[in-house]
Chain A
């Protein structure tokens, strides 16, 4: 039996509402990293010279390449939305696959970067860090935690983009309903944005 009056409101069609929810979520992600940036700020003021020394030891080239990769992928993700709205599925899925590829390349770079440091005996709780100056230990501790957490977000982002690509190909994301793609793209931009803060803090300003 059904109720007399059906007041059911279709929230799936309220794009503004969905956006509000997504933005609130992104906001909580920023606060999550915010806690780490607070730690960074405190330790930077305490161990300024060690942080500078540690920052010089990082590979600025890989950092720059990764920044370019992320910026490019952010552009292609945005382009894929336009393509979906113009009903160009081929272009949309192409842009998305390129973005996913960028995410993977970023992670591979990160793997080599971390591997190189591990090789130099610089990793959490390694003898070199524990017996060395405390400021250096803290610098690399922050480096591994922040880039590590960011890496996890890259993985989450590529998963979201992969699901979106599948849905675009299956026409479940189309010109009328693309909230999933929109939100995945927003998430990817967020991951990108956080990197824009991580990159100078570890590679550039030091």
Chain B
């Protein structure tokens, strides 16, 4: 805080609001981002605990700590909460809300009130999900809500499904807001090729959110309608076709995995050049590959259904399209690695998390090809191989980029710096735990251990036991990371406006930013990743 400029923490968005009301009625994108952060991290920790319970149950054969019914609800809750309340909204709702307007030189998003509405919808959806637990028993359908079980199950599936519907609306409105903001609010001089890559990735993500979410909305509505009226659209007895549910579900839910991963890729594209002190390699290639992933990713949904019953031609086409998506993803990995090549790399916690991301995401991506190939898929379909693959992509990918973003933008959001040494320990602990947790699952999957089973054969016990130990290490690493971040509030190690040497606009404003973000009119560079000035500045410091 310098001179008469107050940070947004001290300036409510409409004068006169104070205390909790300054948060609950705010239209400031930064406050809304932080409100999302509080809620999302709560859900994340809760779902981590559910996941840990599931893995503890599987550590030994037979019943370890819970019955099969509770086990079914546990993995359902773990999946539903992680997917709908953490992975999908995580990066866009927190960091997107906070950073996107600043990165394009705007004072807020285009529809600030709709932004607040999205937050309330998000909270409503979360509360509905909780309420569904306490009315009519835990839902135990898995996060995919497959028919016929979701229609015939006695537990309160309707409320859980409606929760997902409301969360979908929240996500759609956020997407709508971001697209309009990027189109209409860019500062003068910022053309499309001057937009920072994180914002670009959010633009691609927002389109997928708008394109795909309504399909799952209508599908979930149909599940509720079926439960209420029993029309039989998915019931073969009444002329319906259960496979159509799977098609409609994955028509959204496969693109949804790109909603989950694209913002993470955007974060990494911001972090790597900053700590390499070198312009990003292939800016345009990254931009176009984001859009290519968004488009191609919408056409691959049926690769979840190779064993469900489809014509050979359809299997072939979907397999081919799935392979095509690997290309733009690999372009990005190549660009990140090339950015570091011959750069003057400075190690910092965000970079360490990003490096872990690149490694884990690559493993996840390559095993995705094993699943995308029709032949090998038949062997590993619905086994622990799948579980391991998507955790490598969703957690090793999105989760780690979320952690990287937390460490990268933490000083900007709160104006304080955390302890580096502890952050490194947390990162290494998390990564080690992660590998010990999920690599045994690849092996178990190849040996044929199915997913979602409460019990297993004796020969799978060793692998499951070690996976459980890894799970505990992983959880310990995450908790230690949060502990370290939170203890920075106590130490109050003040961060400067640009602690890393970043080139995008958020590093040109004070930390934390003032209410309307900019103190003076933003200066737009003709290329957002030009490190000439940064190098000069840091050279002077060292001399």
Contact = CB atoms under 8 A, between A and B. Distances in A.
Interface of A: 1-9, 11, 14, 16-17, 20-21, 24-25, 27-29, 31-36, 38-39, 42-43, 46-47, 124-125, 129-130, 133-135, 137-138, 141-142, 144-145, 149
Counting chain B CB atoms within 10 Å of each CB, the highest count among A4, A33, A42 belongs to A4
Nearest to A9: B107
How large, as a class, is the contact surface on chain B?
35 or more
Given A7-B107, A7-B516, A20-B180, A34 B231 contact: no
Interface of B: 3-6, 11, 106-108, 110-112, 114, 172, 175-177, 179-180, 183-185, 210-211, 213-215, 217-219, 221-222, 225, 229-233, 238-241, 244, 248, 251, 514-521
Nearest to B229: A124
A79 B372 CA distance: 54
Contact of A31 (B11, B215, B238): B215
Given A6-B516, A17-B184, 18 more contacts: A1-B4, A1-B6, A3-B515, A4-B3, A7-B107, A8-B108, A8-B516, A21-B177, A27-B210, A31-B214, A32-B215, A33-B218, A137-B232, A138-B233, A141-B231, A142-B233, A145-B231, A145-B233
Report the 8 A-B pairs with minimum CB-CB distance, sorted nearest first.
A134-B239, A17-B184, A141-B231, A31-B214, A35-B218, A124-B229, A32-B214, A125-B230
A138 B184 contact: no
Contacts of A14: 110, 184
A47 B225 contact: no
A25 B238 contact: no
B168 to A, nearest CB: 10
A4 B248 contact: no
A34 B214 contact: yes
B311 to A, nearest CB: 14
Nearest to B522: A7
Contact of B183 (A17, A46, A145): A17
Contacts of B180: 17, 20-21, 24
Contacts, number: 135
B539 to A, nearest CB: 30
Contacts of B221: 149
Nearest to B3: A4
B183 A34 contact: no
Contacts of B5: 3-4
A151 to B, nearest CB: 14
B521 A7 contact: yes
Contacts of A141: 231-233, 238, 240
Contacts of B222: 145
Contact of B518 (A5, A31, A39): A5
A24 B207 CA distance: 9
Nearest to B230: A125
Contact of A144 (B6, B177, B231): B231
A11 B218 contact: no
A31 B230 CA distance: 24
A39 B516 CA distance: 48
Nearest to B248: A35
Nearest to B10: A1
Contacts of B112: 11
